[in-house]
Structure 1
Amino acid sequence: MEQLDLIIKNGSVVLPSGLEKMDIGIKDGKITEIEKAITKRTLNIWDATNQYIFPGMIDVHVHFSEPGREHWEGFHTGSQMMAAGGCTTYFDMPLNGIPSTVTKEALYEKAKLGKEKSYVDFGLWGGLVPGNESDLEELAHSGAIGFKAFLSTTGNKEFEAVDDRTLLNGMKKIAELGKILALHSESAAITNWLKEQKEQEGKISADDYLETRPIIAEVEAVERAIQYSELTGCPLHFVHISSAKAIEKIEEAKAKGLNITVETCAHYLLYNHEHLRELGTVAKCAPPLREKEEQEKLITLLIDGKFDMLSSDHSPCPYDLKDPNVYNLFEAWGGISGGQFTLLSAIELATRYHIPFEQVAMWTAQAPAERFGLSNKGQIKVGGDADFAIVSLEDSFIVTKENFFAKHKESLYMGHAFPCKIVGTINRGNIIYENGNILEQESYGEWIKPIKVEVKTP
């Protein structure tokens, strides 16, 4: 009789069709069987009684700043944090490392570090910046998951925002390469103009910050990108969309047949502008947390299926760049540290609004896998990678500095009480995280490269 490496027994398995009480057999990092009762010999058993087995989360949007800014966050601490949140694959953004990931050489340098240090699987975004259009082809052929560009000022001299000509040239090339362009969509003209006015007037409060990044700035950038996509045929992925008006424009584009997906982040769903007023810099991000009314619209849009996926946009920095005592809010780093909490947030929303768990699995695993060509991931299926997040609804999880695995412990989520808990994370059959502890591994995560994405020409 064949001997399995691991059997997960007695759990409620989150399948695309719904919940099923099943056992899962694992051999050589793959799911070999999903049955009511598996009786084969095994080296290890995980008793999942009263637990839910989700497909491991795929977070398509994190910022690990290695090389060059590992003191912000690196693969070692960052991947431990992702594992503790039930994430088995993440895509690292190209902008905060030194060098930024805008050449083949920089991509390989980052991949080498990831393979040495990451506890779970990872993909790497390439960047589109002024002057690197000729690098896109090599980046694509070398394994970049896709490309990222900014339509607003980045505040990072290593990774500048694109002008319209660079954007059009880049989108044309990305379409030819069968790749996807991820866009931070806020109008630089609008946000910079409003910021200059506020600074001239000496207005630097939380309300002033929100007013410099209005919904109209997001909508204008989204509309422009959609028009360029229609012109070039470039597939788009809109990151961290924060307004119902922007979703309205994206829905119109999808109805016309454009190749577009969209994400939002857990912090836009659980928090709002009142938290920036109360907590200061720890709640600063771009786009900003919106007013409560807009937050409620986003939750409704999520429930109605208007967002394709959820991501964390984990964007950490050292404490001194996020100092809550800073006088001028505009000077503080803008980013939410929270990569560990996306799946927990999605489950919290599901329990609150009676959303089926298979929909949570779609947002956090299946849709990202399908969009970015990860055919072995995203679902619990025979032949797929044995990637799982094991969740208890009998336990709560209160965020503390001790159980937050990021390098820096300052987070908007600090003190938040989730009505659920990640009790285990398994990546390709290896138990990475169990009951609050990261387990040391003989082997580490793999660099995941996508298949070619189908392109719809205009």
Structure 2
Amino acid sequence: MSSSNIKNQNPTNHFAIRSQRVVTEKGVHAATVIIKNGLIDSIREYNCEPGCAVEDLGNKVLMPGLVDSHVHINEPGRTEWEGFNTATQAAAAGGITTLVDMPLNCIPVTINKQAFDEKLDAVVDKLWVDCGFWGGVIPDSVNDLDELLDAGVLGVKSFLIDSGIEEFPNMEVDDLRKAMPILAKHNSPYLIHAELDCGNSEPAEIGHSYQTFLDSRPKSWENDAIDMMIDLNREVKANDQDCHVHIVHLSSAEAISSIKAAREEGLSLTIETCPHYLTLFSEEIPDGKTLFKCCPPIRENDNRHQLWQGLKNGVIDFIVSDHSPCTPQLKHIDSGDVEKAWGGISALQFGLPLIWTQATERGFDLTDIAHWMSAQTAKFIGMDHIKGHIKVGYHADFIVFDDESEYVITNEMIKHRHKITPYEGRIVRGRVERTYLRGQTVYDNDEFINTPVGQPLLKGRI
């Protein structure tokens, strides 16, 4: 980041922000929010005399900072793909004040305490927002799981299918049966990449064809994987243990009915989806456009509408980015080879405008956005006592949001390491003007303020 994009600011520990539209759990209303020492000290009427410096936002929205619990930062080891400095700057530019880093594609993968310690060393002086961490569990690391969870990871993730990373192999049923009681004992969520190739399909010849890629990873793979996790969850519950299973990046709307039934049965099951599944659809993806490749794949438009309905009905709990970047070379942009391209969507800072643009067309409002992208994600990571709400006693994590501004996404706007995204050229509505982290401005109208002030968030230490 060039020096022209970073400003110094002397943080003050007592000030107020007022707006005609403050988003709280009670709705959107005019209020003055008073901040002391990085926390929300009080929320008072709009025209009060706060006894400190006050900024009036007028009709601009003041809303809680977003909490993104699914981000691949890839440091240490693959910093040519991303890194904590650039990823957390992109987060701040997108109104994300808290994120959680995934246990791959870094080197070493975060499957034991030693690897976790290396990751914690890597974040020093690089965090522009607060950052928690997921651990991982693979067949050979189940015995390391207790120590890893005690070290402060917020939970762990596994794959049920090839992850694409050799050092992070998938779990089989017997491995899952060993891990789930340990997760239950620690009261930590078990994140599952839910694709299961029950038929051991021969690798498809995909080449440049998006439709062939889509056909190669059918909805049945997700549906079967989710059904298997529900069955295992039922087994654990029958043994008087409660393992919180979380399905990451749901793309198959066909799974919604079984998820709903499992919840009604009393099983601990939460679900996330992502902006790319809610805003993109396969019928509009041209062949050879590798930037759209991800796993599970972006599916049909009808499926997309059903995912929105799942959000509306509360079966899908929240929205996260699944920012999964790599180098332009690994994306095979020039050749257009979908088969060889690394799968992952790069769009960390654009989640809010992408979702807001679609949500307004469907009759949703700012309270829905705050619920899906702040409150529910904060609850999921065990931080809803300090994050995810504009509420007295909580961290003063805010976004100043111009919900009416329309603009075109360009590669030049991008703050993550590689300036590529499938959303280039897309018209969106809603601009993040400013981001506050614990009362300090970290991003202001395309400029980063001062130095990184983000903190690691460890389970049991907050």
TM-score, scaled to structure 1: 0.93
Q: Is the 8 A contact 2:248 2:273 kept in 1?
A: yes
Aligned match of 1:78 in 66, 87, 112?
87
Mapped to 1, the partners of 2:30 and 2:120 lie a distance apart of 38
Mapped to 2, the partners of 1:157 and 1:33 lie a distance apart of 51
Mapped to 1, the partners of 2:176 and 2:407 lie a distance apart of 43
Aligned to 2:228: 224
Task: Kindly state the Cα deviation for residue 345 of structure 1 after the two structures are TM-superposed.
Answer: 2.2
Are residues 1:314 and 2:318 paired?
Answer: no
Aligned match of 2:157 in 148, 158, 170?
148
Aligned to 1:416: 426
Aligned to 1:132: 141
Mapped to 1, the partners of 2:460 and 2:367 lie a distance apart of 25
Aligned to 1:103: 112
Aligned to 1:193: 201
1:382 corresponds to which letter in structure 2?
V
Aligned to 2:367: 358
Deviations 1:197-247 (A, max 9, x none): x23xx7652111101100011000000011111112311111110122112
Aligned to 1:456: none
Aligned to 1:439: 449
Task: Kindly state the Cα deviation for residue 451 of structure 1 after the two structures are TM-superposed.
Answer: 4.9
Mapped to 2, the partners of 1:175 and 1:446 lie a distance apart of 27
Aligned to 1:34: 43
Q: Is the 8 A contact 1:14 1:55 kept in 2?
A: yes
Deviations 1:110-140 (A, max 9, x none): 1232242010001000001111011111111
Q: 1:63 to 1:406 in 2, by over 3 A?
A: same
Runs of at least 4 residues of structure 1 off by over 4 A?
none
3-state DSSP of counterpart to 2:433? strand
Mapped to 2, the partners of 1:396 and 1:425 lie a distance apart of 19
1:424 corresponds to which letter in structure 2?
R
Aligned match of 1:24 in 19, 27, 33?
33
How is 1:13-412 mapped onto 2 (pairs within 5 angstroms)? 13-36=22-45, 37-42=47-52, 45-190=54-199, 193-194=201-202, 196=203, 198-199=204-205, 205-232=209-236, 233-277=242-286, 280-326=289-335, 328-374=337-383, 375-412=385-422
1:447 corresponds to which letter in structure 2?
P
Q: 1:46 to 1:77 in 2, by over 3 A?
A: farther
Mapped to 2, the partners of 1:204 and 1:402 lie a distance apart of 27
3-state DSSP of counterpart to 2:98? strand
User: What CA RMSD, in Å, does the superposition of the two structures yield over aligned residues?
Assistant: 1.7
Deviations 1:124-169 (A, max 9, x none): 0000111101111111111101000001111101211112211111
Task: Kindly state the Cα deviation for residue 189 of structure 1 after the two structures are TM-superposed.
Answer: 3.9
Aligned to 2:239: none
1:449 corresponds to which letter in structure 2?
L
Q: 1:381 to 1:307 in 2, by over 3 A?
A: same
Mapped to 2, the partners of 1:203 and 1:423 lie a distance apart of 41
3-state DSSP of counterpart to 1:10? strand
Consecutive unaligned residues of structure 2, counting only runs of 5 or more, are: 1-11, 237-241
Mapped to 2, the partners of 1:185 and 1:157 lie a distance apart of 18
Mapped to 2, the partners of 1:389 and 1:397 lie a distance apart of 18
Count of matched residue positions in the alignment of Structure 1 and Structure 2: 443
Deviations 1:323-378 (A, max 9, x none): 22335421100000011122222322232112131121110111111222111111
Deviations 1:172-194 (A, max 9, x none): 2111221110011001444x515
Moved more, 315-324 or 364-373: 364-373
Mapped to 2, the partners of 1:188 and 1:338 lie a distance apart of 28
Mapped to 1, the partners of 2:319 and 2:144 lie a distance apart of 29
Consecutive unaligned residues of structure 1, counting only runs of 5 or more, are: 453-458
TM-score, scaled to structure 2: 0.92
Q: Is the 8 A contact 1:4 1:40 kept in 2?
A: no
Deviations 1:232-263 (A, max 9, x none): 23111111101221121111110101111100
Task: Kindly state the Cα deviation for residue 394 of structure 1 after the two structures are TM-superposed.
Answer: 3.2
Q: Is the 8 A contact 2:155 2:189 kept in 1?
A: yes
Mapped to 2, the partners of 1:257 and 1:451 lie a distance apart of 26
